[in-house]
Structure 1
Amino acid sequence: MDIFHALALLVGSIFANALAAFAGGGAGLVQMPLLLLLGLPFSIALGTHKIATVALGLGATSRHLKSGELKLNELLYVIACGTLGVILGARVIVNVPDDIAKTLLGILIVGLGIYSIQAPGLGIHHTPKNRSARGYTIGAVGLCFIGFLNGSLTAGTGLFVTIFLIKWFGFDYKKAVTNAMISVGLFWNSIGAVTVWQAGAPIKWEWLGLLLIGSFVGGYVGAHFMSLKNNRVIKRAYEALCLLIGITLTFGLF
């Protein structure tokens, strides 16, 4: 790789992961097409991207830990509930045609954006709910399903976790994005990366260093700017990202 392509890889990775850390997910929207444009086959790009996104979680987590606002019990709940789904998704997706999976995911993500837009008060204030045994059980099933999507698809599952935490548990956008970035970006992606690697997915190891740097820096920068903004700004960024990712996936722009 020459210096021009190396710089494009680093800058693109920083941008993609900063966007994801600010709005709650979607690093693959920019990072996956970038890897493809730079010449990687889809299977190698996917495996390389999966591993690199772990650094997104590290960068975002390192910034959010400084806030002192994280609740460990909530975070561990989200991580644990999605773990089984992540492992299953990484193993089952090989049986699903890629075009069908991406189109369905795109339609779902567009739906998330539209749903948030038509509910102007959604996620603006933290209003805890469904904190009973029944509520946590249903929440666990929902998070496990989202974990399955995380293990099997290239981008966007952090967006599902964000809206799920807002709708079911009453989180505001800032709190939901923070939990999504740590649980999905760091832990779920780590599990998915190990599963993909063990399954024999090809990895472009010589590109991984730049991607890990870009993912970490982008995750930290995005989380920093997110902490400075109010819930309405984060909500608008989330909605815009949902529509952009959803349309990209639905119409096969990858």
Structure 2
Amino acid sequence: MVNPETLAVLAAGAGIAGFVDTLAGGGGLITVPLLLLTGLPPLLVLGTNKLQGTFGTLSATATLLIRRQIFFGQIEAGFAAAFAGGLLGALAARIMGAGMLDILIPFVLAGIAVYFLFAPTAAEVGGKVRLSRPAYLASVVPAIGFYDGFFGPGTGSFFALAGVGLRGETLLKATAFAKVLNFGSNLGALVLFLLAGKVVWAYGAVMILGQIVGATAGSHVMIRGGPRLIRPLIVVVCLAMLLRYLWQKGYLVWL
């Protein structure tokens, strides 16, 4: 039986995640640990997270299109490249299975924390085109999309920083395009997880509602000049998630 308190926590967490993810990426660093704490196995966690995350990025993308911050002609190729990457990443996670994911997840979490702790800021890397658009769409976008399908947390931040650092985009433009790319990679991964039956609909449904509210609010704040990056929050949440995951697996019995 589904616990109402659990559903309420998941909905609230998804709302916060949708807001944070729209502004800076990293919303999965909130939703993935919440789902892990329900006791779901890794593949169900990833599939359910993709279900709710897809609706969050869809809401953000729709808001940006309506507010004319992005246009269809600008996003089609990037969306397709991210979709393909997300689909392949989810396929890789499916092939590896839960056992391998249990081994890899702590290392991936630690890597994300280190990256966001020491990575350069947008101001430090922006302003210069370092990679052509065709090369960017053929390599960087599907590679980040693959990571999103395989695991996911931090993908929006990776897309935004790549847009600033490699394509010379402004932070606002890169963050807006990151929502579209993240929607594509989320949707690609979700297709695979749905076909494999790796989604918990009861959890996903309440999280979708939270995501839509949070992502829509975050889009309006972003358009009005909201926070550029929430790096400290991403690092803290990621490290907390890593410690909680290790405790749940019995590696840190003293916590």
Give the corresponding residue for 2:19.
18
Of the three residues 147, 172, 197, the one matched with 1:149 is: 147
Q: CA deviation at 1:244?
A: 3.1
Shift of 1:130: 5.0
Give the aligned residue type for 1:84. Answer: A
Partner of 1:247: 239
AA paired with 1:143?
A: V
The letter of the residue matching 2:232 is A
Aligned position for 1:218: 214
Residue 30 of structure 1 is matched in structure 2 by 30
1:167 aligns with 2:156: no
How many residues matched?
A: 240
Alpha-carbon displacement from aligned partner over 1:195-232 (angstroms, at most 9, x marks no partner): 1121342x2222222111111111111111122226xx
Partner SS state of residue 70, structure 2: coil
* Cα distance in 1, alignment partners of residues 156 and 197 from structure 2: 25
**Aligned CA distance change for structure 1 residues 112 and 75 (closer, same or farther; 3 Å):** farther
Q: Assess, with a 3 A threshold, how the Cα gap between structure 1 residues 3 and 197 changes in structure 2: closer, same or farther.
A: closer
2:56 corresponds to which residue?
56
Distance 1:128 1:77, change over 3 A: farther
Query: Could you tell me whether the CA contact under 8 Å between 1:110 and 1:246 is conserved in 2?
Result: no
TM-score (norm 1): 0.82
Q: Distance in 2 between matches of 1:27 and 1:108?
A: 13
How far apart are residue 51 of structure 1 and its match? 1.1
Give the letter aligned to residue 205 of structure 1: W
Counterpart of 2:10 in structure 1: which amino acid?
Answer: L
Tell me the TM-score normalized by structure 2.
Answer: 0.82
Q: CA RMSD in A?
A: 2.5
Structure 2 counterpart of 1:116? 120
Kindly indicate whether residue 5 of structure 2 is the aligned counterpart of residue 4 of structure 1: yes
Distance 1:77 1:130, change over 3 A: farther
- Extract unaligned runs of 5+ from structure 2: 246-255
In the other structure, the counterpart of 1:89 is: 89
Q: Distance in 2 between matches of 1:53 and 1:7?
A: 17
Per the TM alignment, residue 128 of structure 1 is displaced from its structure 2 partner at its CA by 6.2
SS at match of 1:234: coil
Contact 2:19 2:217 in 1 (8 A): yes
Q: How far apart in 2 are the matches of 1:177 and 1:48?
A: 24
CA 1:240–1:54: 2 relative to 1, 3 Å: same
